[in-house]
Amino acid sequence: MSKYETFREKYPVFIYKSYEITESENSVDVNYEFSIPSLAVFRPSWSFPKPSNISVSDDLTFERLVFSLGMAEAVSYWKAVCPPEMRVECGELSAEQSEWWKKLYFNGLGEFFYVNNIDADYNNFMNIISMGKFHNTEISEFSELSDCLVAVGGGKDSALTLETLTNSGIKCKCYAINKRNSITATVTTAGLTEDSLITAQRKFDRSLIDYNKKGCLNGHTPFSSVVAFSAEITAYLNRLKYIVLSNESSANESTVVGQSVNHQYSKSFEFEQDFHLYEKKYLCTGIYYFSFLRPLSEFQIAKMFASHKKYLPVFRSCNLGGKVSPDIWCGECPKCLFVCLILSPFLTDDELTAVFGKDLLNDTSMTEYFTELIGKSVHKPFECVGSIDEVNLAVSLAIKEREQNGGNLPFLLETYRKNGFYHPESLDGKNEKYCKNFNNENLLPEKFREILLNEMERLL
């Protein structure tokens, strides 16, 4: 019997027991309680800043938002032993809602199941039981909602979104979970004040780490769904109309060749659509959630971002480096290499070295990650990286640019050329096709669509 099956037999129930809301003049604190009987009790928490003139006392809409964030949080703790039954004791879910959450958990845990060699079946991996009777209560939308809440993570994508919107005269507030230097620097580099940044404090229950060390299951979870629901709370408290993400069309590609295992599932258009519909039907705040960069590929974003060189010293996209203070590029992970590769046609070797603190293109230890990124492996790196085709295009354009300038090719680019992967005869057509591409599977309101099209025409 596998560890997965053994845990499920020993710990058959996960309980979403409670959430507690405490309000002060300038913040709202939320404490959750999850339990796995006979094993553990988990108590993560959040703190959200709010304007002093806003109160959530007896606000049923806010309670639904808080409850929903708890459902998004719960998956991190459920996955420790993957109980077959999830019992929701503190909220009401219709059968349709339960199915919505089951879909998010299953697809969002695709990498977790793959890496842990778990043959999970959608029909029986989890049964969500709501202990309260569902009442389809109508909730009024706020009529005075306006302006944008831009989620900022410190990377190139959110920097490009913020730069483009502010330059177009759109009024923006920024949202972050737990402040990092790169996030604050991105906001101020865009010309906004630090007061424009609204930071929610998330406290993960670190006792889960101890259980992982003792042998409980561990792996990737759909964290972007936590971003979505927590941003919804922040937008609601600040009466902001739009939640603007910076997820791109490349996030739709499967991470494992031939399988529907996507590290970025909760950044995909499928999840964006699902969240949009869930908000409209069950949360009913009038807030509109969408990704501004959804029509674009990572390649297009990199080319546009590289024209805004003021962000090069401040942006960070490294998950490992984000865990230290101040946040850095670790220079050793596939995410660092991917960002380096996708920017390599548009920046010089010296500029790239200045960004990452080392010459990644000449780093022989990056060979395995490079092989995965260009699609010569069973799977791409389990990271938020672009599609295989656009990585190959970026690498090929970087080779062409350096050869035209008479420079020597760095190790990774020379390896690519020697292995016969470089085909310069088709580059111009592919480059033009990518630069003109505009994926119409998106939820951009018309005014945002026009802004993005105008910026594409200007920069691409």
pLDDT of residue 273: 97
216: in domain: yes
Considering the domain architecture, whether residues 247 and 208 belong to the same structural domain is answered as yes
* Cβ–Cβ < 8 Å for 48, 234: yes
300: in domain: no
pLDDT of residue 134: 47
Considering the domain architecture, whether residues 353 and 214 belong to the same structural domain is answered as no
pLDDT of 22-62, one tens digit each? 999 999 999 999 999 999 999 999 999 999 999 999 999 99
pLDDT of 68-92, one tens digit each? 999 999 999 999 999 999 999 998 8
Kindly state the average pLDDT of the residues 91-112: 95
Task: Indicate whether 139 pLDDT > 80.
Answer: no
354: in domain: yes
DSSP 283-337: I----EEEETTTTS-HHHHHHHHTT-GGGTTT----TTGGGSSS----SSSHHHH
Q: Distances in Å between the alpha carbon of 176 and those of 211, 347, 385, 388? A: 28, 28, 21, 29
DSSP 341-385: HHHTTTS-HHHHHHHHSS-GGG-GGGHHHHHHHTT-SSB--SSS-
123: in domain: yes
The total domain count for the chain is 2
* Amino acid identity at 4: Y
pLDDT of residue 378: 81
Considering the domain architecture, whether residues 271 and 356 belong to the same structural domain is answered as no
413: in domain: yes
Bridge partners, 132 (sequence order) = 92
The whole-model pTM stands at: 0.94
Q: How far is CA 38 from the centre of its chain?
A: 33
Domain that holds residue 400: 321-437
Sign of the alpha-carbon dihedral angle for 152, 154, 157, 163:
positive
Considering the domain architecture, whether residues 211 and 111 belong to the same structural domain is answered as yes
pLDDT of 282-334, one tens digit each? 999 999 999 999 999 999 999 999 999 999 999 998 988 777 778 899 999 99
pLDDT of 371-390, one tens digit each? 999 999 888 888 888 889 99
CA 361 – CA 412 distance, rounded (Å):
5
Considering the domain architecture, whether residues 342 and 280 belong to the same structural domain is answered as no
Considering the domain architecture, whether residues 229 and 115 belong to the same structural domain is answered as yes
Considering the domain architecture, whether residues 118 and 231 belong to the same structural domain is answered as yes
Considering the domain architecture, whether residues 140 and 29 belong to the same structural domain is answered as yes
CA 138 – CA 293 distance, rounded (Å):
32
pLDDT of residue 28: 98
Considering the domain architecture, whether residues 237 and 88 belong to the same structural domain is answered as yes
304: in domain: no
CA 326 – CA 246 distance, rounded (Å):
23
Considering the domain architecture, whether residues 271 and 325 belong to the same structural domain is answered as no
Considering the domain architecture, whether residues 76 and 13 belong to the same structural domain is answered as yes
201: in domain: yes
Considering the domain architecture, whether residues 45 and 86 belong to the same structural domain is answered as yes
pLDDT of residue 166: 97
Helices (H), 238-297: 269-278
